[in-house]
Amino acid sequence: MVAMLEKGEITTGRGLNQESTLARPGATRWGSHFTTIIRILSLWSPTIQVLDNIFDDGIDSKSRGKASSLVEKMESYQFVFIAHLMKKVLGLTNMLSHFLQQKDQNILEAVSLIKNTKEKFQDLRESGWEELLEDVSKFCVKNKIDILNMEDTTHRSRRVRHPVTNYHHFRADIFYQVIDQVNLEMENRFSESNTDLLACLACLDPKDNFSNFCESKLLSLAELYSSDFSAVEQMELKEQLQVWIYEMRGNEAFSTLQSIGEVSKKMVELTIHKSFHLVYRLIELALVLPVATATVERAFSSMNIIKTDLRNKMGDDYLTNCLVCYIERDIFQAIDNEAIMKHFQNMKTRKIDLPRLQK
């Protein structure tokens, strides 16, 4: 850090340089790998110096050998190339990841952000190669790492008959493969049908006097959930939506609302939900869907607490139920234990009755 201060790469000041340490990546923390890569690239020289010191003064041969191996791998062109590639890839997904972790998500913004992220990946695949190569070359020159000639052949197994150039290896085997894999995962997770569903939910957004309202999309949403809306109710829903939107746009009580949840509360407050019971059911569905898809990070973080060494053989169903209770503990703490035991007792005929809780 002293050397970086002398070179002017970082500045001194209160509250500065608090992140000048390497971050530990974790499978349960979104964005942790992106932070780790950023820190490694920004603290490259100090990191190499620490590993060299371990190699020279390590307490045992195992730690010295590991330090030597890490330095050898890090000072290779391939390591630098992959690090810069992953910095770009994870950088594109980082904003989307943070947005999807929010409990109160703006559905319309989510649809737009997913679409933009997909387009950015496609743009990276088509026109990001030269910029990436330039960034890697500058980094290698700065840190005295040998730059490979892209026209040379790679060192592969003797079983491979046809030689492959470095250009093909890095562009086709690594660059394209990584981006295509991410694109595939994005398509699987955010398919056209899923984004269309989100777009349907966004039609209930009250911002700008319900400017996103679309009757046909909301009717399509009701058709998707036929178990909640019968054929007759779907026909009735169409008429209710036409009257409901006039009521929403003409009633000043709804003019300042900013979320679907606020619309639901206001409808109950004014008892309008009874007159537009099918529309209210649609709003309930729109509110439940984002909550039902609990974020991966919350589930994985909770798994470290729920699935301990003493409970490492629990089945998936039981684990899921335990995770739901733990993640949504604010809701479950408000439920009376006596009511839970009564519900459990009534699920099926049992040999004995559960004892009553002592108050």
Q: Answer whether residue 176 is part of any domain.
A: yes
Determine the pLDDT at residue 75. 92
Token digits of residue 188:
């699987």
Beta bridge pairs of residue 165: 153
How many domains, the chain?
Answer: 3
> Among 118, 111, 110, 100, which residue's Cα sits nearest to residue 180?
118
Q: Is residue 264 part of a domain?
A: yes
Domain ranges, residue 314 = 296-346
- Does any domain span residue 222? yes
Low-confidence residues in the chain, pLDDT < 70: 1-31, 101-108, 155-161, 289-316, 357-359
Contacts of 346 (CB under 8 A, 6+ apart): none
| pLDDT, position 296 | 46
Q: Which of 145, 166, 192 is the last residue of a domain?
A: 192
Assess if residue 227 is contained within a domain: yes
187 & 228 share domain: no
- Pair (246, 333) in one structural domain: no
Residues 249 and 340 in one domain: no
Domain boundary pick from 167, 192, 217: 192
Answer yes or no: is 198 within a domain. no
pLDDT of residue 289: 67
pLDDT at residue 15, as a whole number: 47
Same domain, 214 and 286: yes
The answer as to whether 200 is a domain residue is no
Same domain? 179 vs 114 = yes
* 84 plus 135 within the same structural domain: yes
Residue 271, in any domain of the structure: yes
pLDDT score for 6:
45
Nearest CA to 195 out of 258, 113, 123 is that of 113
Measured between alpha carbons, how far is 26 from 86 in angstroms, rounded to an integer? Answer: 16
Last residue of a domain, one of 142, 161, 192: 192
- 69 located within any domain: yes
Does residue 134 sit in the same domain as residue 176?
yes
Whether residues 93 and 178 share a domain: the answer is yes
Shared domain for 150 and 212, answered yes or no, is: no
Convert the pLDDT of each residue in 30-81 to its tens digit.
567 888 899 899 889 888 998 988 888 878 888 889 989 999 999 999 999 9
3 state DSSP class of 206: coil
CA of 131: how far to CAs of 81, 88, 124, in Å? 12, 11, 10
Give tens-digit pLDDT for 229-268. Answer: 888 998 999 999 999 999 899 888 888 888 888 899 999 9
Q: Is there a single domain that holds both residue 102 and residue 183?
A: yes
In three-state secondary structure terms, 70 is helix
Give yes or no: residues 300 and 281 share one domain. no
Are residues 308 and 227 located together in one domain of the fold?
no
pLDDT computed for residue 228 by the predictor: 86
